[in-house]
Each structure stands twice: as structure tokens, then as C-alpha cells.
Amino acid sequence: QLQLVESGGGLVQPGGSLRLACAASGLTTNYYTVGWFRLVPGNEREGVSCLSTSHGSTYYADYVQGRFTISYDNAKSTVYLQMSDLRPEDTAVYYCAAVVPQKMSSWYCRDHRAMEYWGKGTQVTVSS
């Protein structure tokens, strides 16, 4: 079974940057939709950014457009989320997720329930 392990979370000042990493193991195919979801207390998991490992297409939530960049390293089977211009409202637990896609990547990124595999999450705190 596919396993996902996140890293890179931590405490940063507003306007700062973090780079999250999600290392995948147990891959059974080269075709995955992978992405990042965030969880804030009192809310459901929200799709932040997703990517198709086969097509390279990407999706970004409006609130991170222009600030975050998702990428994938095939050699390391690792998904990255470069987070810049961080804001206090970005504070959340960030989860890596993946699914073998039947539809375009953006469809899966809009609903956490569509994703099949999940990491345990990494805490991102933006505070002065």
C-alpha cells in the first residue's frame, strides 16, 4: 500500500517561507494525483494544491495562488509544497494525500473524501 510521510512543518513569522515535503513509498504505478490538504480546527480538510504526476497539471486554491508552488521529484518519489508569503490564517495541519486518478487532478483536490492515501500531517504555524 502507498505510504506518505510529511516533513518540513514548523513555526515561521508572517511573510516567511516553508517547504513541505511528502515522501512516498510502496508505489504501484507512476500515475497518481498527489496534493496537500490543510485542517483548521472547526473545519473540514481543504484542498490546497494538487498535481498529476503523469501530466504535470496543477491546481491551487484561490487563497494560495501566487504564494505556494507544488512540485514532484520523480527520482525521490517526493511531493513538495513551497510556501511563501505565509499568513497567520495559513496556520493548520497540512496533510499529504494521493489517489490513482480516474478524472482530472483538480476534481480530487476539491474534496478530501476523494483521496485514498493520507499521511499523518505536519503542523504549520505562522505567528510573530
pLDDT digits (tens, 9 = 90+) for 65-121: 999 999 999 999 999 999 999 999 999 999 999 999 998 888 899 999 999 999 999
Q: What is the pLDDT of residue 69?
A: 98
SS3 assignment, position 114: helix
pLDDT digits (tens, 9 = 90+) for 16-48: 999 999 999 999 998 999 999 999 989 999 999
How far is the C-alpha of 21 from the C-alpha of 7, rounded, in Å?
5
